[in-house]
């Protein structure tokens, strides 16, 4: 891997998404007219080349164009769309199984929905956590 690619990946390291989420959310006219529900039906989850501690977030525009990515990639697309549509509160949830030192999944959420790797669930984040193997979520509100 070249130095340029390594530096690019380092700036997109998934933990930075929690630290500076607005830096990673898509902006512009695309999101106001984007058909997120339709796009989600064609989205395919794919594991990052370096999954785990070296996981990197993709730009939401790239995820939309390629229709593939992992959980934080999908969550960033969902958050970009939800913010453009004025859904509130919009946030990212970094989901932990019990006793896990690092999150195993990232979702986006608003008041009525949870957006999880191609699934749009009509439920709160708390209901999502109760229904899944995740014990808790570190939440980062965007709006």
* pLDDT 10s digits, 109-122: 999 999 999 999 99
Is 107:95 a contact under the CB 8 Å cutoff?
Answer: yes
User: By C-alpha distance, which of 62, 70, 73, 65 is closest to 39?
Assistant: 65
End-to-end distance of the chain based on CA atoms, in angstroms?
Answer: 37
Helices (H), 3-121: 3-11, 14-19, 21-24, 29-33, 36-40, 60-66, 71-84
Rg of the chain (C-alpha set): 14
Per-residue pLDDT reduced to its tens digit, 28-41: 889 999 999 999 99
Domains (ranges, CATH) in the chain? 3-141 (3.10.620)
Per-residue pLDDT reduced to its tens digit, 64-89: 999 999 999 999 999 999 999 999 99
Looking at residue 14, what is its pLDDT? Answer: 79
**Which H or E run includes 129?**
helix 125-131
Per-residue pLDDT reduced to its tens digit, 2-12: 667 666 666 77
């Amino acid at each position: 891997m070249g130095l340029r690619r390594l530096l690019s990946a380092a700036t997109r390291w998934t933990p930075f998404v929690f630290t500076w989420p607005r830096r990673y959310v898509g902006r512009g006219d695309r999101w106001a007219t984007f058909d997120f529900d339709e796009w989600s039906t064609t989205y395919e989850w794919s594991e990052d080349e370096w999954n785990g501690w070296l996981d990197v977030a993709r730009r939401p525009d790239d995820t939309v164009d390629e229709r593939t990515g992992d959980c934080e990639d999908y969550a960033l697309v969902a958050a970009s769309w939800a913010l453009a549509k004025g859904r509130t509160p919009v946030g990212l949830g970094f989901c932990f199984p019990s006793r896990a030192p690092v999150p195993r999944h990232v979702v986006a959420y608003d008041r009525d929905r949870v957006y999880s790797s191609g699934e749009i669930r009509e439920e709160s984040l708390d209901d999502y956590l109760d229904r899944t193997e995740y014990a808790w979520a570190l939440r980062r509100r965007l709006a």
